[in-house]
Amino acid sequence: MTSLLLRQAGQKQPQRPERLSPRERVWRTIKHQPVDRVPCVDVYFLPETIKRWEREGLPEGVSVAEFFDLDLVRFPVDCSIGVQERLLDETDEYRIVTGSDGVTRKHWKVYSSAPQELDFPIKQPRDWREIRSMLKAHEGRLAENLEIQISRAREQERFITLSFLEPCTLARKLLGSRQWVEFMQTQHPMLDEILETGMRLVLDTVELAFRKLSGFKQPPFDGVWLHAELAYTHAAFMTDKEYRSIILPYHRQLVFELKRRGLSVLLYTQGNALTFLKSVRKSGFDAILPLECISGNDLANYKRNYGQQTALGGNISVDRLMESDQAAENEVSEKVRIGLGENFTGYMFCLDRPVPTSLPLKRYLMALHVARSIV
């Protein structure tokens, strides 16, 4: 034992590079190789936030990734069933709309909050039989100017991701939360069909994107960003056992197939992420974020117990950033140092939830500066 410790003590830590491109910085982070500084990967900025920031000096119409020099860019893929949006009701206070995903929502006008979900497209088996054919891969799911956007991001050497709705989250949006939980508990065969369809939608669209963007000398994108809504404040929406037996096999297969294509896979889910970290060795996710603070996500604990298995991202409390400049500086400095750890890798800076309207532009710029100053 003593000789082992002496040999380990004599081993040199990998040398940190002096300067990396954004793409190299993210790749090295998810490969657990030392970086020059923390990569910054915020991708969710509320429209109201952008409008406020434009009044505070953000140039109108500018790319947020370019203005803030963010390391990662995300190009959303349309994972909806493609129905025509319908306005069902409108008052001075709200609008009720059925979106292209078939979900009916109440959108409040008088204050900023997440829309209230009122109705869902699948109520009986025949609904699913009709909807299933609407979830096929086709070029219309990709942005019209995707090739131009990717070409610009490549010139800027950013880490490029295609963003999809995670299959289990797709199932919840189609079924509604109550029916989704019932299907999970009873292991309803329709749930497996939806998960399989959601997985195929991701894989087939990725293949289609590779063909469409075949003119690039290097791979047109580096990874897949899976947007998920799998947990709430205290835990995941399913038990650990339900996750391992029902959802994990699909996550594992999806990640395996994407990695065969040379892609990384990042899971972004609000709420408590512990259930997914416990199984990350089997799922294979390269990163899990944003580790929402109010949901009991303990970055130091996660780094200690899971930091060798996956990269971590976020856990920067929006609430702390809104308190004061000093509170923001302390929060960012503490979390980035914990996240990077002794080996200075395996962590990405982002806020623990979408950047809210209440956060001043100057404060966010300061947070980025503090994060990038930790070298």
Same domain for 77 and 96, yes or no, is no
Q: Quick check: 269 and 230 in contact, CB under 8 A? A: yes
Same domain for 254 and 309, yes or no, is yes
Residue 3 has pLDDT above 80, yes or no: no
Tell me the per-residue pLDDT of 202-229, one tens digit each, with 9 for 90 and over: 999 999 999 999 989 889 999 999 999 9
Q: Quick check: 341 and 303 in contact, CB under 8 A? A: yes
| pLDDT value of residue 305 | 97
Same domain for 131 and 164, yes or no, is yes
- Round to whole Å and give the CA distance between 341 and 313: 13
Same domain for 20 and 47, yes or no, is yes
Same domain for 98 and 209, yes or no, is no
Give domain status of residue 3, yes or no: no
- Round to whole Å and give the CA distance between 100 and 51: 25
Give domain status of residue 169, yes or no: yes
More confident residue, 112 or 6: 112
Task: Identify the domain containing residue 106 by its residue range.
Answer: 82-120
Residue 232 has pLDDT above 90, yes or no: no
| pLDDT value of residue 286 | 98
- Round to whole Å and give the CA distance between 348 and 329: 17
More confident residue, 198 or 14: 198
What is the phi/psi pair of residue 281, to 5°? -65, -30
Residue 230 has pLDDT above 70, yes or no: yes
Q: What's the average model confidence in pLDDT over 124-132?
A: 94
- Round to whole Å and give the CA distance between 276 and 279: 5
Tell me the per-residue pLDDT of 54-85, one tens digit each, with 9 for 90 and over: 999 999 999 999 999 999 999 999 999 999 99
Give domain status of residue 9, yes or no: no
Exposure string of 178-193, with b = 16+ CB inside 10 Å and e = fewer, is: ebbeebbeeebebbee
- Distances in whole angstroms, Cα of residue 122 to Cα of each of 73, 128, 175, 280, 312: 33, 6, 5, 31, 35
Same domain for 132 and 271, yes or no, is yes
Same domain for 223 and 96, yes or no, is no
Tell me the per-residue pLDDT of 77-110, one tens digit each, with 9 for 90 and over: 999 999 999 999 999 999 999 999 999 999 988 7
Same domain for 69 and 214, yes or no, is yes
Same domain for 111 and 73, yes or no, is no
Same domain for 127 and 248, yes or no, is yes
Give domain status of residue 10, yes or no: no
Determine which of 14-18, 335-339, 366-370 has the lowest per-residue pLDDT on average. 14-18
pLDDT exceeding 70 applies to what percent of the chain?
96
Which pLDDT band, with edges at 50, 70 and 90, does 13 fall under? low
- Cβ neighbours around 224 below 10 Å, total: 27
Length of the chain: 375
Give domain status of residue 89, yes or no: yes
Residue 343 has pLDDT above 80, yes or no: yes
| pLDDT value of residue 322 | 96
SS3 content of the chain, % helix, strand, coil (to 5): 45, 15, 40
Same domain for 101 and 73, yes or no, is no
Give domain status of residue 1, yes or no: no
Q: Quick check: 13 and 349 in contact, CB under 8 A? A: no
CATH number for the domain spanning 248: value is 3.20.20.210
Tell me the per-residue pLDDT of 137-167, one tens digit each, with 9 for 90 and over: 999 999 989 999 999 999 999 999 999 999 9
Beta strands in 211-356 (DSSP E): 223-228, 264-269, 287-289, 311-313, 347-348
- Distances in whole angstroms, Cα of residue 298 to Cα of each of 229, 304, 306, 309: 19, 10, 11, 16
Tell me the per-residue pLDDT of 34-59, one tens digit each, with 9 for 90 and over: 999 999 999 999 888 999 999 999 99
Q: What's the average model confidence in pLDDT over 286-313?
A: 97
pTM of the full predicted structure? 0.93
Write down the mean pLDDT value for the chain: 93
Same domain for 108 and 133, yes or no, is no
Give domain status of residue 5, yes or no: no
Give domain status of residue 225, yes or no: yes
Longest dimension (CA), the chain: 75
Roughly how many angstroms between the first and final C-alpha of the chain, as a whole number? 34
Nearest C-alpha neighbor of 220 from the set 160, 286, 142: 160
